[in-house]
Amino acid sequence: MIQVLIVEDDVRNAEIHRRFVGKVEGFEAAGVATDGRQALELLDILQPDLVLLDLFLPHVDGLELLRRIRAEHPRAGVIMVTAAKELHRVREAIEGGVYDYLLKPVIFDRLQEALLGFRSYRERMATLEAAGALGQPEIDALLRLREPVAERGRQSAYPKGIDQLTLDKVSGLLAEEEGPLTAPLLSARLGISRSTARRYLEYLVSAGRLQADLAYGSVGRPERVYRRKA
């Protein structure tokens, strides 16, 4: 469950945002702060995964709070929810590391898109943490997940025949395997065809995640085996 801290000085808006968050599966409103000082206290107490942050707040404004969150709670995501439309404020928020920027009054569908996009990014990061070093395609995919929601999905960061869901499953299996892997073994473990398994393994070779070698048995053709790069 992704724990969300709502930081909003308008009690009515805070309640609307709390209800919206509760309608999205996998998300829970852990608390509500109505000013910057209270937000700092609740950040330390609740350690939320995500903060819905207003810009205009008593005591500590949203941009200063954003800087504090980035410095003191770097793993917490931030989605700005504000009436501020000025370019310099939007730019400062984006450069400060917000995941998304929503204008009030917030529409549920738009907030839901932002929340689900954040969850996808978070899950992708968790999957890749086990892999250690990343290739350029994985980095490109992560950066695309950080793009504004409206821009996501226009084109795949992967070549034809490679989708993120299957790649995540393959990457997860690779993180668990200590020995070499073959296309038949991957096929059996994930329930995919051998040709599909071979395609993903070769893609990971091209991405710099795996190295391929030939294993020669006593009879028959040599078998292509794949190992994680050291």
User: Mind listing the pLDDT tens digit for each residue in 55-70?
Assistant: 999 988 999 999 999 9
- Nearest to 118, CA basis, from 3, 33, 14: 3
Q: What is the CATH number for 208? A: 1.10.10.10
| Neighbouring-strand partners of residue 226 | 181, 212
- The CB density around residue 75, as the number of other CB atoms within 10 Å, is 10
- Judgement on whether residues 203 and 118 belong to the same structural domain of the protein: no
Q: How many domains does the chain have?
A: 2
pLDDT band at 124 (very low <50, low <70, confident <90, very high): confident
- Judgement on whether residues 94 and 161 belong to the same structural domain of the protein: no
Residue 156 phi, psi dihedral angles, 5° rounding: -80, 145
- Judgement on whether residues 155 and 63 belong to the same structural domain of the protein: no
In the chain the beta strands, taken as DSSP E runs, fall at 2-7, 27-33, 50-53, 77-82, 100-103, 210-215, 223-228
- Judgement on whether residues 100 and 77 belong to the same structural domain of the protein: yes
Host domain of residue 184: 140-228
- Judgement on whether residues 121 and 29 belong to the same structural domain of the protein: yes
Q: Using the 3D structure, point to which of 103, 126, 149 is the last residue of a domain.
A: 126
Q: What is the CATH number for 106? A: 3.40.50.2300
Q: Using the 3D structure, point to which of 126, 152, 177 is the last residue of a domain.
A: 126
pLDDT band at 158 (very low <50, low <70, confident <90, very high): low
Q: What's the pLDDT tens digit per position in 166-211?
A: 888 888 788 777 788 899 999 999 999 999 999 999 988 887 788 8
20-24, 57-61, 163-167: range with highest mean pLDDT: 20-24
The reported pLDDT for the residue numbered 150 is 44
**Cα distance from N-terminal residue to C-terminal residue, the chain:** 34
Provide mean pLDDT across the span 64-79.
95
* pTM summary value: 0.64
- Judgement on whether residues 23 and 119 belong to the same structural domain of the protein: yes
Q: Using the 3D structure, point to which of 63, 92, 126 is the last residue of a domain.
A: 126
The reported pLDDT for the residue numbered 131 is 66
Map tokens 């450069």 to a residue: 95
Axis crossing angle, helix 36-46 with helix 62-72, rounded to the nearest 10: 20
pLDDT band at 148 (very low <50, low <70, confident <90, very high): low
- Judgement on whether residues 145 and 114 belong to the same structural domain of the protein: no
Residue 131 lies in a domain: no
Q: In this predicted structure, which of 77-81, 114-118, 124-128 has the lowest mean pLDDT?
A: 124-128
Residue 56 lies in a domain: yes
Cα 121 to Cα 62: distance, rounded to the nearest angstrom: 23
Determine the number of helices (DSSP H) and then strands (DSSP E) in the chain. Answer: 9, 7
- Judgement on whether residues 116 and 145 belong to the same structural domain of the protein: no
Provide mean pLDDT across the span 4-32.
95
155: which 2 tokens?
Answer: 């084109």
